[in-house]
Amino acid sequence: MPGYHYSRVEPTPVPDPHLLAWSDDLGAYLGLHRPPERGPAVEALAGNRVTDTMKPFAARYGGHQFGSWAGQLGDGRAISLGEVTATDNSTWEIQLKGAGPTPYSRRADGRAVLRSSLREFLCSEAMHYLGVPTTRALSLVATGDIVVRDMFYNGNPRPEPGAVVARVAPTFIRFGNFQIMTATGEMDNLRAIVDYVIRHHYPELGEPSPEVYLRWFEEVCRRTAVMIAHWMSVGFVHGVMNTDNMSILGLTIDYGPYGWLEPYDPDWTPNTTDFGSRRYAFGQQPHVGLWNLYQLARALAPMVENVEGLNQGLEQYRTTIAATQHQMMMRKLGLTAQAEEEDRALIERLHEALAESQVDMTLFFRRLCHVAYDLVANPGNEDGLFQDLLAAAGYAELGSQQQPLIDWLHRYSNRLRQESVGAEAIREGMLRANPKYVLRNYLAQQAIEAAEAGDLSFLNRLMEVLKTPYDEQPEHDDLAAKRPAWASDKPGSATLSCSS
């Protein structure tokens, strides 16, 4: 679609739209009330009803997919309805994913299945409550139609129930929106979208100019670094960090084959499409973020007089992600800045020891909060504390492979006792930095299977628990359990793909 930023398109109606899930907090923020299961509002959220004030469109963009330029991509099944004004006067775009074909669908049907839609709805909101910069999700609507998908692209397509998720963000503009303009030589269109983004989403930088373009790119780099540092802090793996899946606002966008580290493994990815190269594995995410920003810099180069100035933004990314990751890890460990070099060495060794010991990342850090309290308040039983910790968080029998982590815990114990605050203050600070509840893939899969059978109780319970992931909520301890053996190789629980 050369020459255009977007295409006007009408959603395609579905036979039986009915509400499955609604984000009460986001709805209240947008000034919207939870609608009945069926009715005009749900018809709008499914794409069956387009009001006079809606201006539905699908955006055009390109992108690098798994490191290779893919050319024009675009919203192949996402249709934006327009913007609404929230209670604080900020504006938010509402986008329907799975609402039918667009000019960018590339011979696809433009639909989405309940499986992927429920995962996106849940994870968008779960990430928000974890404190991770993210797009949001307002509603999940079943469509009443059947969509055929080959989950792992292995020649085994099957019919699945369809659904539409209403995604919400200040904008869904991504790196690829700029890349496609430069790739096709549309310099006027490139300048138009850059100026639009600066005026509407970065107005504090001033009126667009070559100097402001550089400051803007630097801020995009900073925000992207902060976002990825948050991912690393909670053990989140995006799974498909293509440049068309990178928000220009530094928000987590496009929840596809994501997952959380369970056995700590820097080389782990949930995405079967990436098993060959593991380009988007957990430990690679900071490097891929920089690579993606470099591609954005190449796209923006025609806009700036001093192309070398774009390097300042890339350096901003490097320094920001390193500093932010360090600060977050210090909070997770209950430590304050004292001896920076020694603390950096302590943290670096922790990552190595975690990988060697195969412990559950979320469980390890959450239980460490209470171990830290005992180390300060009741010293003297370190070995017993450490054995209990590894038994609770480990996926393997206690043995020699846990020794590096036990050695690290002794080193950590000595460092922790250098803190001046009391045991209770240390524990409380750590509990605010280490979530007890994350959206483990096996939990999402259980919610999917129940919803497909018509039971929404598990989905609703999971949603409520994930709203306060740092609270104990002891009545829901089963949702904080490490991955059960049956889920270690189950499709949807251990492995996913880009198919939805």
Which residues are marked as active site? Answer: 244
Tell me the torsion sign for CA atoms 360, 366, 371, 372.
Answer: positive
Q: How far apart are CA 449 and CA 469, in angstroms?
A: 23
Tell me the torsion sign for CA atoms 393, 399, 401, 403.
Answer: positive
And the tokens for 265? 């493994």
Closest CA to 45 of 62, 21, 75, 69: 21
Binding residues for ATP: 74, 76-77, 97, 109-110, 167, 174, 254
Binding residues: 74, 76-77, 97, 109-110, 167, 174, 245, 254
CA-to-CA dists, residue 105 to 80, 170, 239, 293, angstroms: 15, 24, 22, 26
Strand-pairing partners, residue 366, are none
Give the torsion through C-alpha atoms of 327, 331, 337, 338, to 10 deg: -130
First to last CA, the chain: 24
Q: How far apart are CA 223 and CA 278, in angstroms?
A: 24
Fill in the DSSP letter of residue 23.
-
- Written in H, E and C, the secondary structure of 343-369 is HHHHHHHHHHHHHHHCEEHHHHHHHHH
Binding residues for Mg(2+): 245, 254
